[in-house]
Chains A and B, each alone.
Chain A
């Protein structure tokens, strides 16, 4: 895969924003305990991030950094309003469960900081492709987390009872979210190392000092 392709399509595996960039992890940890919550968060994150970054790309580049950051945050806060109103129609129950994490999606670092550091250095079409793959990367993590945590904690899949004998209620709690995401990050790194045929370097750990 060329560097350009990595930059465009890496949002799913190569440079996942949650598992590699550790961005937008609070909603995954706290609200990613059921598939229904995951669906609602995916909708909100995808809509807010895509529209905000797209609109923000029209902000003049010559403005000072601080001014641009504030403008990006304000654009995102404005986009949040119609997205939330639409969510009240489609996911009315989830809004209450997600609580403060709904508005917090609008001030995620992908919109506020990565736009400047990553997306706006690309051509418009490349930016849109890369952004879509970053969003898909978040969506995939959110879906997997919601599915597995719901199955392990409640023994259900999308609120339908599944045949699970041992339930681990802790996975529905914040500490369960921390531990689950930590394990998932480790698994992701391992898979990434294997995929990029760099597993020997991963195991030797030559770049890390003991001192």
Chain B
């Protein structure tokens, strides 16, 4: 029962199904298992580490300078982007070329930036959420939510690309309608 409750919570709070963040990335991820694993891991890493960095930014940034938040988040994400590329180059040189494309796709992405802004928005509304652990866990949850949504899309990906689907709707249009139906189901859980 606990697991079911947790799964429902993850689905309801899912940034893709409820806020449409990172849709184009999820279409790339759902294309193959390799892409799914690579993109999901990198997105989760970005959202989790980025949330910790966002906490630092939010702690130091005065409220009347909130217009600078995007710039600071961008700088933080840029720093993570460079660090992750460097780490990938040093740690897994053989697979660096493969791994690099997932980092490029994930760095400046609505899923990552949207997560940071959403976490900040929640913390502004409820000050009990303004802690490092809450930020990091929310960032991690967002990454897991991305994986769940990608898995849901992967399950239907092949069928939505079959020639039985009218040519005009084959692929992306059918996937958008499919995500809409899943999103409707998730909406009813709220």
B162 at the A/B interface (Cβ < 8 Å)? yes
| Size bin of chain B's contact surface | 35 or more
A74-131 with Cβ < 8 A to chain B: 74, 76-78, 80-81, 84-85, 99-100, 103-104, 106-109, 112
B63 to chain A, nearest CB (A): 15
Q: Chain A: which residue is nearest B113 at the CB level?
A: A107
Flag if A205 contacts B163 (CB, 8 Å). Answer: yes
1/0 contact string of B69-106 vs chain A (CB within 8 Å): 11101110110011001000000000000000000100
Q: Quick check: A174 and B187 within 8 Å, CB to CB?
A: yes
Residues of B within 8 A of A54 (CB): none
Cβ of B183 < 8 Å from any Cβ of A?
Answer: yes
Partner of B71, one of A26, A81, A187: A81
Contact (A74, B75) CB under 8 Å given A26-B114, A69-B107, A174-B19? yes
Provide the bound-state CA to CA distance between A69 and B78, in Å: 9
Q: B32 an interface residue at 8 Å Cβ cutoff?
A: no
Residue of A nearest to B28 (CB): A22
Question: Interface range on chain A: under 10, 10 to 19, 20 to 34, or 35 or more?
Answer: 35 or more
A73 at the interface (CB under 8 A from B): yes
| A104–B75 touching, CB < 8 Å | no
Task: Judge whether A80 and B114 touch: CB under 8 Å.
Answer: no
Q: Is there a chain A Cβ closer than 8 Å to B18's Cβ?
A: yes
Partner of A84, one of B20, B67, B181: B67
Find residues 145-199 in chain A having any chain B CB closer than 8 Å to their own CB.
170, 173-179, 181-183, 185-187, 189-190, 193
Assembly CA distance A66 to B77 (angstroms): 12
- Chain A residues in 8 Å Cβ range of B70: 77, 80-81, 103, 106-107
Residue B121 is within 8 A (CB to CB) of chain A in the complex: yes
Is B121 touching A99 in the complex (CB atoms < 8 A)?
yes
User: Which of B68, B74, B162, B181 makes the CB contact (< 8 A) with A175?
Assistant: B181
In the assembled complex, the Cα of A138 lies from the Cα of B183 at a distance in Å of 24
B177, closest chain A residue (CB): A182
B173 in contact with A26 (CB, 8 Å): no
* A-B contacts, 16 listed (Cβ < 8 Å): A66-B85, A73-B74, A74-B74, A99-B121, A100-B114, A107-B70, A174-B19, A174-B187, A175-B180, A178-B20, A182-B172, A182-B177, A186-B174, A189-B168, A202-B167, A205-B163
Residues in chain B within 8 A of chain A (CB atoms): 17-24, 27, 67-71, 73-75, 77-78, 81-82, 85, 104, 107-110, 113-114, 117-118, 121, 161-164, 166-170, 172-181, 183-184, 187
